Amino acid sequence: MRARTVGPAVSLATLIGAITLLVACSTTVQGTAVENKADVAAVVTSVRMAAADAVCDAVETGNKNFSDVVAKKDSTGTEGLAVLDDMVRDVQASLTKDVPPSVKTPATAFIDATEKMATYIRTGNGDSKALVDDYFAALRQVRTACSTHGV
């Protein structure tokens, strides 16, 4: 018999607890949600810095790899071409919509200069000195843009 009296008592306690929880969780707060503009600006800045950092890293890594190939006297061989192609691909992949224009523009010029140098190596057409000068001028512009962003 005790089992029957305990059952309804437990059910009643459970029901009271559920109602209390429902009332406690249904509190309405009046007002309008407003974003914290300082937090939003900080997040946007952080995303842009990370995107710029990815571009700068891709450029520096590619340039180091190409410099290593040049040091081995194979810049006009298949290894040099592969490094240039990889560099172009990696820098292009890092150019997301979040990259600030102040980094994206010189990085795009760097890609163009790198592609022209690769085309010269493949075909032999063009002025090698001018292409190398263009490559290093574009590299300097990217480095300047990266340093401006603290990267």
Residue 24 lies in a domain: no
Residue 26 lies in a domain: no
Segment 121-143, tens digit of pLDDT: 888 888 889 998 999 999 999 99
Question: Into how many domains does the chain fold?
Answer: 1
Residue 22 lies in a domain: no
Residue 65 lies in a domain: yes
DSSP 73-92: T-TTSHHHHHHHHHHHHHHH
Higher pLDDT, 36 or 151: 36
pLDDT for the residue numbered 1: 46
Give the domain extent around 54.
49-151
Residue 107 lies in a domain: yes
**Residue keyed to tokens 């200069």:** 113
Segment 79-126, tens digit of pLDDT: 778 888 999 999 999 999 999 999 999 999 999 999 998 888 888 888
Segment 19-47, tens digit of pLDDT: 665 555 556 777 777 777 777 778 777 88
